[in-house]
Amino acid sequence: MVRNIEDYPYSSHRVYMGLEPVGIVDVDPLLRRFGAKKAVARQRYSEHVAAGMKLGHLSTLYETRGGVLGTEEFVDSMIHRMGEFEPKGTPWVFEKREFSPNELISAVESICQVAREDFCGTSKMRRVITAKETLILAGRRLGLGVKTISDITGLSIATVGRRHDKAVDRLGQDGSLKELAGRVVNLMNSHESRESQA
């Protein structure tokens, strides 16, 4: 948007560099990390920002997992402290209905052709991750919370939250994931329908 970062008016960078009055920005905690004297600290801060700009856009800096931004360890500790996080706008949350965890897991096994030991485990294979995300999306669509899905699968709350966020991000680009989750839900609903007729 601008050639020089100092020219961008909607950032606190100008305040840290001493180009604008401090106002509501408390510059001291940050600048102290770069030096005891403000002139030295500002120079080092400027060099730090310039080095970061050479790296270009890093999409990983903008990813949230379970609604928390940070490393996996940090996310896990925050979710442990804050408890379960339910993001707004979760897709397809329908009315809750009663079903056994085994029904959901069996439906995912059937639709994704992946064994429960794999998608309830730590495997990073693409088809296993797709099965995990299918289970999580279908579970959310059926009204399950992140904690309940964690209990069903044995995956940590943080892992379920991260996988959910990744799956939601993929929905716009990957129609197959939405289709798989829809097929799991349809299979679950067809089982319920047969049981109510019996």
Looking at the structure, tell me whether residues 121 and 182 fall in a common domain: yes
Give pLDDT, residue 113: 93
Give pLDDT, residue 59: 65
- 61 domain residue, yes or no: no
Looking at the structure, tell me whether residues 133 and 87 fall in a common domain: yes
- 62 domain residue, yes or no: no
Give pLDDT, residue 90: 47
pLDDT profile of the chain (198 residues), mean per 10 = 84 91 87 91 91 75 62 69 52 59 90 88 86 89 84 84 82 80 86 54
Looking at the structure, tell me whether residues 84 and 38 fall in a common domain: no
- 33 domain residue, yes or no: yes
Give pLDDT, residue 61: 62
108 contacts 131 by C-beta, under 8 angstroms:
yes
| Residue 149: domain span | 68-197
Looking at the structure, tell me whether residues 104 and 13 fall in a common domain: no
Looking at the structure, tell me whether residues 95 and 159 fall in a common domain: yes
Looking at the structure, tell me whether residues 34 and 74 fall in a common domain: no
Give pLDDT, residue 195: 53
Looking at the structure, tell me whether residues 36 and 88 fall in a common domain: no
Looking at the structure, tell me whether residues 29 and 127 fall in a common domain: no
- 100 domain residue, yes or no: yes
- 20 domain residue, yes or no: yes
Give pLDDT, residue 198: 47
Looking at the structure, tell me whether residues 85 and 113 fall in a common domain: yes
7: left (phi over 0), alpha (psi -120 to 50) or beta: alpha
**What is the per-residue pLDDT across 111-146, written as a single tens digit (0 to 9) for each?**
999 998 888 888 888 898 899 999 988 888 888 888
Looking at the structure, tell me whether residues 75 and 51 fall in a common domain: no
Neighbouring C-alpha atoms within 13 Å toward the C-beta of 149: 27
Q: How many domains does the chain have?
A: 2
Looking at the structure, tell me whether residues 156 and 113 fall in a common domain: yes
- 126 domain residue, yes or no: yes
| CATH label of the domain that carries residue 146 | 1.10.1750.10
- 108 domain residue, yes or no: yes
Give pLDDT, residue 88: 46
**What is the per-residue pLDDT across 55-77, written as a single tens digit (0 to 9) for each?**
777 666 666 655 666 666 777 67
